[in-house]
């Protein structure tokens, strides 16, 4: 059985708009101590949206930390601690794309990089997609809409055109569900 590390001390290093950074000293199961750099994040959502003609809704945007344009599913951070992730997913879809949806269904929730961050991402599937959004992206977001068929999405994964983990998880789920649907028929 794995024994949890026990916190000894925590030093608040940085407080930003998106993350907080802490340097924590922990007691290890063997009695020794270690330092842990921890990025605290209030969480985020992502939305797997499929158009009525069976295409996945993606956005292209420049991601400064990666220094490149990434192709991703619509996503965004929870605006405040405790914000309802479902409501955030509805908002992010409508802000980043021309689409709204009637509801969302939680597919998965997972930690994006558990080795140093507590960011939890909630991956939703949009239900009842409609092309009728009047919302706009955030002031610092520059997005371009892309819609890919299953074959195009699979090719983009194989070519390395999609390297964002939340998008990879969403596309793999979408592709797997199409296989399951075919097997059930």
134, 137, 139, 143 alpha-carbon torsion, rounded to 10°: -130
Q: Examine the residue annotation and report whether 139 is marked as an active-site residue of this protein.
A: yes
Q: Two tokens at 104?
A: 């969302």
Catalytic, out of 37, 86, 95, 139: 139
Residue 154 and residue 3: Cα distance in Å, rounded?
Answer: 40
Q: Residue 58: which of 157, 177, 181, 180 has the closest Cα? A: 157
The CB-side HSE value for 121 (13 A sphere, CA atoms) comes to 21
H helices of 8-103, in order, are 85-96
Task: Supply the residues annotated as catalytic.
Answer: 139
């Amino acid at each position: 059985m794995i024994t949890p590390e026990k916190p000894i001390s925590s030093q608040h290093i940085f407080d930003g708009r998106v993350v907080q950074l802490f340097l924590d000293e922990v007691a290890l199961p063997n009695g020794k101590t270690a330092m842990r750099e921890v990025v605290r994040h209030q969480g985020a959502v992502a939305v797997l949206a499929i158009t009525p003609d069976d295409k996945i809704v993606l956005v292209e945007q420049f991601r400064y930390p990666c220094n490149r344009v990434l192709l991703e599913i619509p996503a965004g951070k929870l605006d405040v601690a405790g914000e309802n992730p479902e409501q955030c997913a509805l908002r992010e879809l409508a802000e980043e794309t021309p689409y709204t949806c009637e509801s969302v269904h939680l597919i998965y929730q997972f930690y994006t990089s558990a080795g140093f961050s507590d960011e939890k991402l909630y991956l939703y599937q949009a239900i009842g997609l409609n092309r009728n959004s009047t919302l706009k992206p955030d002031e610092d977001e520059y997005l371009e809409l892309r819609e890919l068929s299953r074959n195009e999405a699979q090719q983009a994964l194989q070519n390395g055109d999609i390297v964002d983990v939340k998008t990879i998880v969403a596309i793999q789920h979408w592709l797997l569900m199409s296989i399951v649907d075919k097997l059930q028929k």
